[in-house]
Amino acid sequence: MNTPASAAETHESRLLVPSLVFIALVVAAIGSLGAPLITSVATTLDVSLASAQWTLTITLLAGAVATPILGRLGAGAHRRSTVLATLAVVTAGSLLTAAPLPFAWLLVGRAAQGIGLGLTALMMGVARDHLPEGRAAATIALLSVASTIGIGIGYPLAGLLTELGGIRTAYGLGAVVTAMAFLAAWRSVPTSPAGRLARVDLPGALLLTGGLVLVLLLVSETGLWTRHLGLAAFLTVLAVLLLAVWIHTELRCTAPLVDVRLLRHPAVAGANAVMLVGGIGMYLLLTLVTRYAQTPGDAGYGFGLTTFVAGLVLIPFSLLGFVAGKTTPRMRRWFGAPTLLATGALVVLAAFAIFAGARSNFVELLVAMAILGFGVGSFSAAMPAVILAVTPQRETASAMSVNQVVRSIGFSLGSVR
């Protein structure tokens, strides 16, 4: 017979998984809001497309910089406070993007929203610490998928709200759902296990921040390579130097921001490589398909769809990604995570082949997106098992945060227009 205390504990555990998945979906959807709104931002706020592109770039950049720091904080005793403080920052940023303020403030708000991209790794740490082993593995796989398929949810919603009320209405969605995510975290995210300590390696954080900022700047600002080749070459050398010094610092530090030695493990290195290539491919195909769908037919190709209808093309991506996320943990019993990881990558390549060879009607776009979603969902669900199999439990958030950084870099490469 359950006591009142045990019944309350059961209720809390039931709330935990949906809350973690909801938070992961929210931060992913909010992070992706910049992509479908770039053209609308340029016309509404009278800025160039290159400037409007920064509403996506600055979000990915902020996420890449914040993720390893949040991952280290999440490994310590203040994980709950870190989650709540981060969601408060994201909510404040969402309010800035929804307010009728100048373009510069929109960028500030989008940067604040990007910090939330680092929360997925912390959600994985919570799941590994507070759920039974089998359920924790399935939840972590689902969180990894949710952080990707949330992008497919954000696109059509952003398109619909932009058509109904303009870009501020679309960004206003972010303020509502992040406030809901904050309440969900406040209600359900438990404190870390006793005895956890985590000290942020400040020199390492500064070196990594500088290196990542330069890398993402060089990736996003392609005009540097054509108009200012000398400056681009100098920044490339500087980025490599900063990252090399960072690696040296981390190897010598007793409490590193990232355990670099762990990254050299073949399983971790392979998983991060798949995430990089998969992130590039995913964002590249998402961008190609939505732009193709919106291109007027008199251009010789395309369907001339509105932003909202073009965004609906991504619904099969999210649906099949969710299906893959639910089935992949069960398939690991027979095939193993590395095999499923490689298979998912091959399915993504198949989606590219379908889009390249068959895109004469709208249904073919839906098929390509469905296959892409299943492939991305498969390797996203299999990836945490590969990494966490060689990662100490206390380092879950830190190890997965590095994978999220790699993902952000892949998304940045894939989203370059």
Structural tokens at position 171? 């960004």
Is residue 3 a part of any domain in this protein? no
Q: Are residues 140 and 230 in the same domain?
A: no
What is the pLDDT at residue 415?
A: 65
Q: Are residues 154 and 286 in the same domain?
A: yes
Q: Are residues 374 and 392 in the same domain?
A: yes
Rounded to two decimals, what is the model's pTM?
0.80
What is the pLDDT at residue 105?
A: 95
What is the pLDDT at residue 109?
A: 95
Q: What is the mean pLDDT of each run of 10 residues along the chain (417 residues)?
A: 44 77 88 75 86 84 84 78 94 93 94 90 86 83 80 76 85 89 92 70 85 83 83 94 91 78 79 81 79 77 78 84 82 79 85 83 86 86 80 74 78 68
Q: Which candidate, 106, 110, 99, 137, places its Cα nearest to that of 33?
A: 110
CA distance 305 to 299: 13
Would you list the DSSP string of 42-64? Answer: HHHTT--HHHHTHHHHHHHHHHH
CA distance 120 to 136: 14
CA distance 132 to 2: 19
Is residue 8 a part of any domain in this protein? no
Q: Are residues 127 and 208 in the same domain?
A: no
Q: In 3-state terms, what secondary structure has residue 197?
A: coil
Is residue 245 a part of any domain in this protein? yes
CA distance 186 to 325: 26
Q: Are residues 105 and 76 in the same domain?
A: yes
What is the pLDDT at residue 9?
A: 46
**Number of domains the chain is built from:** 2
Contact 42, 48 (CB under 8 A): yes
Is residue 206 a part of any domain in this protein? yes
For residue 176, CA distances in Å to 143, 147, 149, 179, 198 come to 21, 19, 19, 5, 32
Q: Are residues 156 and 117 in the same domain?
A: yes
Q: Are residues 252 and 363 in the same domain?
A: no
